[in-house]
Structure 1
Amino acid sequence: RHGAIELLVLSACQTAIGDKLAILGMAGFAVQSGARATIASLWGVNDDATARQMTFFYEALARSEVSKAEALRQAQLKTIDLGGDYAKPFYWAPFVLIGNWL
């Protein structure tokens, strides 16, 4: 697909939650509209944890030849490693990758 979006990140609250018309919410619409991959959240997110995790995610993508899925995994692990509340799934686990994981 010429001009297709390779990766769309929807780091706001509940962007992977849909209804009976759109099961995957905004993320599903993005993939149906031509985005090859979308990262979206399954529940309300903490602003600070999200900012840190997205920074870790983009750093992983920029510094090495890893897949989007591996970059997300590395970002989740780094968020857990921050300790305290960040080690709780509410803070590190809201994001899912939909579409092309490579």
Structure 2
Amino acid sequence: MLSEPEQRVLHEIERRIVASDPGLASLLTSPHGQRKQRGARVAHDVVCVVAVILGVLCLVLGQIASGLAALVFAAVVLEVRRARFPSDSARPARTARRRI
């Protein structure tokens, strides 16, 4: 744990890096973690789409209970995704990278 003066110095360094080179700051603050979250969001999406397709297929084939269960499962997966990744609805716009 850093002491109070060390934390202030660290925040000042971070502020200067962000002010001088926002591209570098974004690279330093968004490493591997965002890739994992993107993969988890895609996995939720795939499971939801497969469940909806199976639910509709079951309903078409006359398996009402199985179809409804698959559709309810898809709805649960969708709600879990929304709860786990609430920032998806308000994504910030991407900024263009500067060329050197």
Task: Give your verdict on TM over 0.5.
Answer: no
TM-score normalised over the length of structure 1: 0.26
> When you count strand as a share of all residues, which structure comes out higher?
1
Decide which structure has the larger Cα Rg and report it: 2
Larger RCO, structures 1/2 (Cα 8 Å, 6+ apart): 1
> When you count helix as a share of all residues, which structure comes out higher?
2
TM-score normalised over the length of structure 2: 0.27
